[in-house]
Amino acid sequence: MIKYPQKLSLAITPTPLQCLSRLSAHIGGPKIWIKRDDLTGCAVTGNKVRKLEFILSNIIANGGDTLITAGGTQSNHCRAVAVLGAHLGLKVHLLLRRDGIVRPVGNLFLDHLTGAEIDHYSPAAFKQLDTLFDTWSSHYIEQGRKPHAIPIGGSNSFGVWGYISAISELIKDFSDAGIMPSAIIHATGSGGTQAGLIAGKQLYELDCAIHSYAVCDSASYFDSKVLSDLHNWKKDFQVSIDLNQLIISTNDNYIGAGYGKASKEIYDTIKLLASLEGVVLDPVYSGKAFYGMLEEIKAGRYKNHSDIVFIHTGGIFGLLAEHNQIIF
């Protein structure tokens, strides 16, 4: 029996599992299914809300009234915190890394719309994030508030539960669809989704590989990040799990020019899926991972697989911010 911590009900779940039959026929590969975690909400679309259900529940239970979090200019996580903070009546302060020219579009537009306080930092200043968190926390404590810092991507011990519970949802999806997929594929950035999926696979004894496609950082970085996050999670919640049994499988071949930088191939993949299936990916996460998966299918990696599942982790507002990259 898996003992979950308390959570708030913030995500629209279960999200649909859909078969991409036209795309599967088009590429002549295995049958590709898509778990529509881009449909966890409208303004809170994506994977972050699953983590935040647990994170925010704990913060509110501890009397927190102010959320401080951080990410890139177009961070989906920060936007989700801004929207959910407004929904729950909590103050939100976003510390954003200045990634190029700052324009109030896409996620940043929504951050402003929800009334979040926003500070932009140069990449050099942003490297001192722990100090920034401490400085702002002290500032709010002096004002008599109860601030809580949420790490980048919401990847902490509470956040891990989000994708453990998604595994139990997927098990039901597979049974309803009458399939037993051989691989679950997704984009990994801060490693929290990956950690949850890997732990969930182990806890629920799901016989299905987890293939994580990196959008930044090397496979060895994710090996140690996921393991250290799961060590903390195991200790914090006294979970009986053998972490030596975990299989962490990260593909870092499709990062391209770097985090947030998408090539023409990524935008072509986004156009292909939108036109064949009406499913919209984003250039920073889901589009990159989906492109990587299609390339690996072409290279024969999934040739003995009959069904594989891609988790669509959201990000549409990031695509809208980059709309001029696609010329019609």
Q: Which residues are catalytic?
A: 75
**Residues at the contact surface with ligand PLP, assessed by CB under 6 A:** 46-47, 76-77, 153, 155, 187-194, 282, 285-286, 313-315
User: What would the two tokens of residue 281 be?
Assistant: 């990916």
CA pair distance 122, 318, nearest whole angstrom: 20
Q: How far is CA 98 from CA 103, 108, 123, 133, 157, in A?
A: 10, 11, 6, 17, 27
Strands (E) located in the chain:
17-19, 31-35, 66-72, 91-97, 117-121, 147-150, 183-188, 209-214, 249-251, 307-311
Cβ at position 145, least distance to ligand PLP in Å:
26
Cα separation, 311 vs 208, whole angstroms: 14
Number of residues that make up the chain: 328
Residue closer to ligand PLP by CB (options 8, 311) is: 311
Q: How far is the CB of 62 from ligand PLP (least distance, A)?
A: 23
Question: CB of residue 105 vs ligand PLP: minimum separation in angstroms?
Answer: 16
Q: Pairing mode, if any, of strands 117-121 and 209-214?
A: unpaired
- 7 vs 303 by CB, closer to ligand PLP: 7
What does DSSP assign to residue 281? -
**Of 48 and 93, which has the nearer Cβ to ligand PLP?**
48
Buried-exposed string 89-102: b where 16+ CB fall within 10 A, e elsewhere: ebbbbbbbbebeee
Min dist. Cβ of residue 27 to ligand PLP (A): 22
* Of residues 66 and 190, the one with the C-beta less far from ligand PLP: 190
